[in-house]
Structure 1
Amino acid sequence: MTESSFDATHPPSRELLNECVHCGFCLPTCPTYQLWGEEMDSPRGRIYLMDLAERGEIELEGAFTEHIDACLGCMACVTSCPSGVQYDRLLEATRPQIERNVPRPRSDRWFRNGIFALFPYRRRLRAAAVAGALYQKTGLAKLAERVLPPRLRAAQSLMPEVRLSSAFASLPRRVRPDGPVRRRVALLSGCVQDVFFHEVNTATQRVLAAEGCEVLTPRDQGCCGALGLHAGRETHARERAKQTIATFEKLPVDDIVVNVAGCGSSMKEYGHLLADDPEWTERAQAFSAKVRDVSEVLAELEPQAERHPVDATVAYHDACHLGHAQGIREQPRSVLRTIPGLRLVDLPEAELCCGSAGIYNMVQPEPAEELGKRKADNVRSVNPDLLVTANPGCLLQMRRYLDDVPMMHPVQLLDASIRGTTPGRTPAPR
């Protein structure tokens, strides 16, 4: 028997590989197949490559890595598959194999290492926010855009307008409702979310409190590991998962609330991520059972706070790790429909990723740009007054190609309605 090209640490399961019958139902929903029409850049094509590698018929280096790297991990194929193929499990098993066994070119390795040396750390992000503010104000950004290589140009274009007052602000550790406590919850403040989208966290605390929730936000929390998990950095993800569990499991709460789609998706999978660690398996499962997207919690609570009318046509974009990975589609919409006067519309090609996909829009800038422009065209086609989506990566990605439409997190729009204020907008990249 030919030896597998995968190492022995959690390789893609033969049982899962055999579930794919190559029917092709995934093809219309796969972003890279829609862009290029290349079979090996479709889910069934990538599963075929995994199958060959598992049999030892192809090596991991070269074309195999290129096609797996090109996958956004959006999980639209999981939603569309009539056979229930767990492509998400296959991809999560394959990417760590590449990271362990395939040497990347030096520039690629340094770029990826730089991302993970910065984004999971709030203190480093705050230092970067100071440098970014100076960078934007001096006009260097426009000058550098002409000479930077594609990856650095993409990273620069995604940089939000830095508000130092928000970047260095702290959330209150405890927020109590004015009336009786209907539910006690803990909030993941996140890393990128808390520094560059701090106003989403404050809106989340206010809305939950207005609906009768006591909100605990521990100060000692850090990165949940989502970026690492989606990029195949399994050790990074496992370490961050353990730290997150240890921080939250001691809190006497009903739910652990998340307002970032990618983070929530990963945190709900901690039980799987730590399944082979006897010390953490049960703790991870108990933790994941409490994780809820903020829209899930709000959809279950009968609205008690008065909503002021918002006379606007609002387009809702399904973040992939909310809609496809978590299966949460109706809850955000039902919560938004509690706002009087609001007209909610869906987007054409709603199942296609916007091109953000964790770090994808930085490491794969060309296809990310094509997908971003395609999503922007679909948004403009419904002529909305406002666009809402529940993931900071999506907001940054779409703002790059859609600077003529205000956009925000759904909880910010609900917060504005409850407070009777004019809905704002997310900071636009320079």
Structure 2
Amino acid sequence: MTESSFDAHKPPPRELLDDCVHCGFCLPTCPTYQLWGEEMDSPRGRIYLMDLAQRGEIGLEGAFTQHIDACLGCMACVTSCPSGVQYDRLLEATRPQIERNVPRSRSDRLFRDAIFALFPYRRRLRVAAVFGLAYQKLRLERLAQRVLPPRLRATQALLPSVRLREAFASLPRRVPASGERRRRVAMLSGCVQDVFFHEVNAAAQRVLAAEGCEVLTPRRQGCCGALGLHAGREEHAVRNAKRTIETFEKLAVDNVVVNVAGCGSSMKEYGALLDDDPAWADRAADFSAKVRDITELLAELEPRAQRKPINAKVAYHDACHLGHAQGVREQPRAVLRTIPGLELLELPEAEICCGSAGIYNLIQPEPAAELGERKARNIRSVKPDLLVTANPGCLLQIGRYLDGDVPLLHPVQLLDAAIEAPR
């Protein structure tokens, strides 16, 4: 028997590879297949490549890595598959194999290393925010578009409007419940979320408190490991998962609340990530069972706080790691419908990713740009007054291609405005 091209550490399981019957139901929802029409850039094509590598018939370098790298990991195929193929588990088993066994070019390696040296660290992000503000004040964007290579052009184009007061602000460690306490929860504040979207975290604390939740936000929490998990950097994901579990399991809470779709998806997968570690498997599974997206938690609670009307047409964009990966679709819509006067609009091609996908829009800027423009066209087509979505990467990516045409908010910000929670 030919030796597998995968190493022995958690290769894609044979039983999951065999689940795919190559029916093609995934093709209409796969962003890269929609862009290029290339079989090997579809989910079933990538599973075929994994199968060949597992049998030792192809190596991991060259075309194999190219087609796996091109995948956004949006998991739309998981939602659309009638056979229940767990492409998410297959992809998250395959990407670490590439990172361990395939040498990358020097420029590619350095760029990826730079991402992981910056984004998971709030202190470094705050320093970057200072330079970002200077960059924006000096209006260097046009110059950068002319002289920077594509990846760095994409990076600077995604830089949000920097407000140093928010970038350096701290969240209260404890916010008491308004009225009778219904839940005691701990909140992940995130990395990019806490520095560049601090107002979302603040709104989340206020809304949860208004709905009867005591909110604890540990000061010493760090990166949850989501970027590493989705990019195949298993060591980074495991290290940060363990630290996150240690931080939150000390707190006697009912739930751990997340307002970032990508982070929530990863935290719900800690049980699978650490299932081969006897010292952590049960702790990880117990932790993951407590994790809730904020809209998921709010949908579990009967609305208590009074809402004032917001008369607006609001388009809701399903963040892939909320809708496809977590299966949280109706809950955000149900929560938004508790706001009087609000008309919720559905988007054409709602299942197609906006092109953000963790670090995808940084390392694959050209297809990410095509998907961003496609998403912006679909949003404009329904003529909304504003758009809401539950992930900072989506807010940055869609905001870039809407170019100010439509205001963007996290759902909890809209709910906060309707509740008029005390500030």
Q: For this structure pair, what is the TM-score category when the shorter chain's length is used for normalisation?
A: over 0.9
Structure 1 unaligned regions, length at least 5:
422-430
In 2, Cα distance between equivalents of 1:168 and 1:146: 32
Q: Secondary structure at the match of 1:246?
A: helix
CA–CA distance in 1 between the matches of 2:368 and 2:141?
A: 20
> Is the Cα–Cα contact under 8 Å of residues 4 and 55 in structure 1 kept in the other structure?
yes
Query: What SS does the aligned partner of 2:334 have?
Result: helix
Q: Equivalent residue for 1:144?
A: 144
Q: CA deviation at 1:139?
A: 1.8
Paired residues for 1:118-133 under 5 Å: 118-133=118-133
1:187 and 1:420 mapped to 2: Cα distance? 18
Cα distance, 1:140 vs structure 2:
2.1
Report the counterpart of residue 24 of structure 1 in structure 2. Answer: 24
SS in 2 for 1:145: helix
Counterpart for residue 206 of structure 2: 206
- Indicate the SS of the match to 1:52: helix
Structure 2 distance, partners of 1:83, 1:37, is: 22
Q: Partner residue of 2:52?
A: 52
Contact 1:182 1:212 in 2 (8 A): yes
Which amino acid is the alignment partner of residue 418 of structure 1? Answer: I
8 Å Cα contact 2:75-2:88 kept in structure 1? yes
Aligned to 1:260: 260
Partner of 1:413: 414
Q: How far 1:342 moved relative to its partner? A: 0.2
**Unaligned residue ranges in structure 2 (runs of 5+):** none
Partner residue in 2 for 1:424: none
In 2, Cα distance between equivalents of 1:398 and 1:256: 28
Alpha-carbon distance in 1 for matches of 2:253, 2:13: 36
1:162 Cα deviation after fit: 0.5
Aligned-pair CA distance for 1:420: 8.2
TM alignment of 1:18-417, pairs within 5 A: 18-402=18-402, 403-417=404-418
Given the superposition, is the C-alpha separation of residues 296 and 58 from structure 1 closer, same or farther in structure 2, using an over 3 Å criterion?
same
* Displacement of 1:144: 1.5
Deviation string 1:291-343 (CA, Å, 9 cap, x unpaired) is 00001111111111110110100000000000000000000000000000000
Secondary structure of 1:146 counterpart:
helix
Aligned residue identity for 1:299: A
Secondary structure, aligned partner of 1:238: helix
Separation in 1 of the partners of 2:140 and 2:155?
A: 14
Alpha-carbon distance, 1:177 to partner = 2.1
8 Å CA contact 1:384–1:405 kept in 2: the answer is yes
Aligned residue identity for 2:190? G
How many residues align? The count is: 421
Structure 2 Cα separation of the partners of residues 299 and 342 of structure 1: 17
Cα distance in 2 for partners of 1:295, 1:357 equals: 20
| Deviations 1:237-288, CA, capped at 9 Å, x for gaps | 0000000000000101000000000000000000000001111111000100
Q: 1:327-377 CA distances to partner (integer Å, 9 max, x unpaired)?
A: 000000000000000000110000000000000000000000000000000
Following superposition, which runs of at least 4 residues in structure 1 exceed 2 angstroms of deviation?
none
Q: In the alignment, residue 232 of structure 1 is paired with which amino acid?
A: G
Paired AA for residue 48 in structure 1: Y
- Structure 2 CA distance for aligned equivalents of residues 248 and 42 of structure 1: 38
Distance 1:16 1:144 in 2: 45
Cα RMSD (Å) of the superposition?
0.8
Structure 2 CA distance, aligned partners of 1:96 and 1:177?
42
Report the 3-state secondary structure (helix = DSSP H, G, I; strand = E; otherwise coil) of the residue aligned with 2:22.
Answer: coil
2:232 counterpart SS class: coil
Alignment TM-score, normalising by the size of structure 2: 0.99
2:178–2:213 contact (8 Å) kept in structure 1: no
Indicate if the aligned counterparts of 1:308 and 1:420 stay in contact, CA closer than 8 A.
no
Q: Which amino acid aligns with 2:20?
A: C
Distance in 1 between the 2:304 and 2:94 partners? 46
* Alpha-carbon contact 2:206-2:421 (below 8 Å) kept: no
Amino acid in structure 1 at the alignment position of 2:409: M
Q: Give the TM-score of the pair, scaled to structure 1.
A: 0.97
Q: Distance in 1 between matches of 2:345 and 2:421?
A: 22
Q: Could you tell which deviates more after superposition, 132-141 or 186-195?
A: 132-141
Q: Percent identity?
A: 80
Aligned partner letter, 1:293: D
CA contact (8 A) 2:16 2:85 kept: yes
